[in-house]
Amino acid sequence: MLRIVVKEGENIERALKRYKRKFRDVKVLQELRERKQFTKPSVAKRAEKKKAAYIEQLFKED
């Protein structure tokens, strides 16, 4: 569970922004979306390799 301590005199919008950033960094929503349906391990590996090849290609052109 995420906890955000609102400091004395701190703007509520700023505290909300900190909460949203922490929520994004913990990747809770991403994990929930991944668990919506089962992905076979072989398909997951294939996607991971494809992503790695794409990233390598991006850095190779520079």
**How far, in Å, CA of 57 to CA of 3, rounded?**
40
User: What count of other Cβ atoms lies within 10 Å of the Cβ of residue 22?
Assistant: 13
Task: Tell me the domain boundaries of the chain.
Answer: 12-61
Q: Which of 20, 21, 19, 25 is nearest to 4 (CA)?
A: 19
Percent residues over pLDDT 90 in the chain: 71
3 contacts 26 by C-beta, under 8 angstroms: no
Res 62: pLDDT? 57
User: How does pLDDT run across 33-54, given as a tens digit for each residue?
Assistant: 989 999 999 999 999 999 999 9
In the predicted model, is pLDDT for residue 61 greater than 90? no
State the pTM of this model.
Answer: 0.54
Taking all residues of the chain, what is their mean pLDDT, rounded to a whole number? Answer: 91
pLDDT of amino acid 60? 87
Residue type, 22: K
